[in-house]
Amino acid sequence: MPGGPGALLGTAPEVTEDAEAYAATGGYRDTADPVKLLDLITDAGLLGRGGARFPAAVKLAAVRDGSGVPVVVANGEEGEPGSVKDRWLLRSRPHLVLDGLTLAAAITGAAHGYVYLSDPCAARRVRRALAEHPTPLPIKVIETDHTYVAGEETAVVRRINGGPALPTAKPPRPFERGVADRPTLVSNVETLARIALIAAHPHLRHRIARSTLLTLSTDRGAADPGESPLLAEVPYGTTLGTLAAELGAGDASGALMGGLFGGLVGPGWASLPLDHAALAGAGTALGCGAMRFLAPGSCPVAVAADAVDHLAGESARQCGVCVSGTTAIRDTLRDLTAGTAGPDAAERLERWSKTLPGRGACGLLDAAAGTAGSLLRAFPSLVRSHLDAPCPLCASCPPRGGRRLAVAVPHVTDTAPGTEPVPSLKDISRA
């Protein structure tokens, strides 16, 4: 679908898209019937793009049918260090996101909306977009500090309600009682963007729903953070091998999937398709759509150690099991990279990977335990070799709190068109 009206990147602007340009593509139509639009979203099978992949129509209907006047929230807080798609959307296509938020409000009957983020550049551009094209829905921009847990839906609600951006126990969930104790839709900004695209191009709804934004990166030559990723829009079914080839990482030994939530995949990774059932069968997940391909000269044990090091440092420290669990996994993986792990290290990691998930208030502990378990599944012989002798590759790149996993947001200027090309933005859909 390169260049098609259903693409988020096919017509990607090199400058922030203004209201006039957005309206010219079919945006901001005030004729969309909320009931019919919800039917279209249901028929398209649109899944949320925040990581859980929950059916968008089911979530919208649950908020609509709740008790009280609903609230809608565009969640643009990307906690995953390797993901930039949401910040890019808010910086370059803020009107698309605002249109989707307004349409979600119409479907649910919401009276107020919020855009929740931590990126100052995105906040400026969203506020400018609101001034450019005032929406019928009162929308407020809420900024927060950037942390791994700040984008978790109960943390979003807690912050908007005036508290810290930290997760709370569930139930109730936001769709039951959220902002100001009202039914609240907390929706990822890409999900909202796709709702707006479905409203503008209903005949393309299946194609819109079955394409997704990915942040692709590699650790080849990435000793320092801030490398430029490949931000790509691809259809479900595309193989990981195709994605790696586009990035120039076709010789990778595996990948870190879903941000940090999907864990590591090893031999056979290249033939895996972007299909939720196939990925789940391989013990992994698409998550927020961030993938880091492992260069031949990197060690998966070091990558896992860096990932869990980051997660341990980002713990909200509200749940004792999370603090102790992430610390134990982090220390054991550090020992593996240093060649000082005890003979029962693999056994302990295996046990934690099975007993710790689901015991914290958010998914951080699950991600740490899942990363450890995936390392054992994908690279068992490699883990065993780390018990016998120090690994020179690991010694050359000790854990750095996950800073090596961070990538930069592809630049979109808000000055003159054509002054700064954006070569990293690609639509690599296959017709």
User: What's the pLDDT band for 10 if we cut at 50, 70, 90?
Assistant: low
Sign of CA dihedral 37, 39, 43, 45: positive
Residue 329: closest CA among 337, 172, 297: 337
**pLDDT tens figures, 274-331:** 999 999 999 999 999 999 999 988 899 999 999 999 999 988 888 899 999 999 999 9
Q: What is the pLDDT of residue 422?
A: 39
How far is Cα 20 from Cα 9, in angstroms, rounded to an integer? 18
Q: What is the pLDDT of residue 420?
A: 37
DSSP sequence for 313-351? HH--S--HHHHHHHHHHHHHHHHHHHT---TTHHHHHHH
User: What's the pLDDT band for 220 if we cut at 50, 70, 90?
Assistant: low
User: What's the pLDDT band for 242 if we cut at 50, 70, 90?
Assistant: very high
DSSP category for residue 132: H
DSSP sequence for 250-282? TT-SEEEETTTTSEEE-TTGGG-BS-HHHHHHT
Can you name the residues that pair with 73 across neighbouring β-strands? 114, 186
Is the pLDDT at 414 greater than 80? The verdict is no
CA angle, corner 54, sides to 59 and 354, nearest 5?
135
How far is Cα 166 from Cα 361, in angstroms, rounded to an integer? 9
Q: Which residue has the higher pLDDT, 219 or 184?
A: 184
How far is Cα 345 from Cα 333, in angstroms, rounded to an integer? 8
Is the pLDDT at 222 greater than 70? The verdict is no
What is the separation, in whole angstroms, between the first and last Cα of the chain? 7
The contacts of residue 418 (CB under 8 Å, 6+ apart) are 14
DSSP category for residue 171: S
Residue 262: closest CA among 249, 274, 244: 274
Phi-psi region of 277 (alpha: psi -120 to 50; beta: other; left: phi over 0): alpha
Residues 381-408, mean pLDDT to the nearest whole number: 82
Looking at the whole model, is its pTM more than 0.85? yes
User: What's the pLDDT band for 259 if we cut at 50, 70, 90?
Assistant: confident
Is the pLDDT at 408 greater than 60? The verdict is yes
CA angle, corner 328, sides to 323 and 333, nearest 5?
130
Is the pLDDT at 339 greater than 80? The verdict is yes
Alpha helix stretches (DSSP H) within 45-141 = 56-64, 85-92, 94-108, 120-132
Q: What is the pLDDT of residue 413?
A: 60
Residue 187: closest CA among 98, 121, 263, 311: 98
Q: What is the pLDDT of residue 276?
A: 92
Contact of 113 with 72, CB cutoff 8 Å: yes
**pLDDT tens figures, 91-118:** 999 999 999 999 999 999 999 999 999 9
Q: What is the pLDDT of residue 2?
A: 33
Phi-psi region of 422 (alpha: psi -120 to 50; beta: other; left: phi over 0): beta
Q: What average pLDDT does the structure give for the chain?
A: 88
User: What's the pLDDT band for 29 if we cut at 50, 70, 90?
Assistant: confident
User: What's the pLDDT band for 410 if we cut at 50, 70, 90?
Assistant: confident
Q: What is the pLDDT of residue 371?
A: 96
Is the pLDDT at 237 greater than 70? The verdict is yes
Q: What is the pLDDT of residue 388?
A: 83
Q: What is the pLDDT of residue 426?
A: 67
Is the pLDDT at 430 greater than 50? The verdict is no
